[in-house]
Amino acid sequence: MRSSFNSYGHSSLQQDADDISALVDYLRLIGRKKIVLLGHSTGCQDIMMYNKLKDKVTSVDGFILQGPVSDRQAFMYVTVKPEEMETYQQAIIYARDKDAEGKGLEWMPRSMMPEAMRDTPFTVYRFLSLVDVGGDDDFFSSDLSLDAVSEIWKSLTKPAMVLHSGEDEFVPEFVNKEGLISKWKAIEPLVSPLSGVIPGADHAVSKPVSAEWYCNRIVDFLGSLEDQS
């Protein structure tokens, strides 16, 4: 995708959705009947944007979201160092001002960026999308209002299985992952009852026992889609 590697800092979820839709078009062209998108990490935000743009992208049959981490909360509470926090907050204010001036495609000053973001060039727009409340990537934060959460999940158009990692190093300790997913399931019946938390998994599901659990759950979800057809 055009957002791969360092392009992550100057892309957008809409651009990702366009790229994914082009792939889905090709898969339909060669005769693939059932297509399910599986997104990991930012891929989860891509799926939510793909769903949001449903009238502008090629339809699929289901979604799997693994590691639906809030970038905003990950930067604020996990990856930005305490000694960087004042400059980080100033960077957010700077970006908001630039965006209000219509300069979202300008580059963020490297000197204002926390170490975790310094090696990737970021546009003002992309930076705000990731770190600001209500940014385009802000689908999964635990502090979103119930109205905001309802608007996000009630827009779902296809069955979706959502799986957090039980020991995700990018999720703040105060976030109740089980509670979040239970809330999403209660709001929208299309959130699969198979959604939940992968036991003992890190963000990348690198442990073999966690990966096996994850793969089995994927098979179960795909089977549930076959049962519905």
Q: In whole angstroms, what is the distance from residue 143 CA to residue 73 CA? A: 9
Nearest 5°: phi and psi at 198? -75, 115
Written as one string, the DSSP assignment of 136-180 is TT-SS-TTS-HHHHHHHHHT--S-EEEEEETT-TTS-TT--HHHH
The domain segmentation of the chain, as residue ranges, is: 13-70+140-227, 74-131
- How deeply is 195 buried, as exposed, middle or buried, from its count of CB atoms within 10 A (0-12, 13-18, 19+)? buried
* pLDDT tens by residue, 3-32: 887 788 999 999 999 999 999 999 999 999
pLDDT tens, residue by residue, 114-168 = 999 999 999 999 999 999 999 999 999 999 999 999 999 999 999 999 999 999 9
The whole-number pLDDT of residue 229 equals 60
The overall average pLDDT reported for the chain is: 96
CA dihedral over 45, 21, 65, 62, signed as positive or negative: positive
Q: How confident is the model at residue 2 (pLDDT cuts 50, 70, 90)?
A: confident
**Chain CA centroid to CA 210, Å:** 20
The domain covering 13-70+140-227 belongs, at the CATH homologous superfamily level, to Alpha/Beta hydrolase fold, catalytic domain (3.40.50.1820)
Within 13 A of 32's CA, how many CA atoms are on the CB side? 13
> What is the share, in percent, of the chain residues with pLDDT greater than 70?
100
pTM: 0.95
Cβ contact 125:27 at 8 Å: no
Query: Is residue 227 over pLDDT 90?
Result: no
Task: Tell me which DSSP letter residue 10 carries.
Answer: G
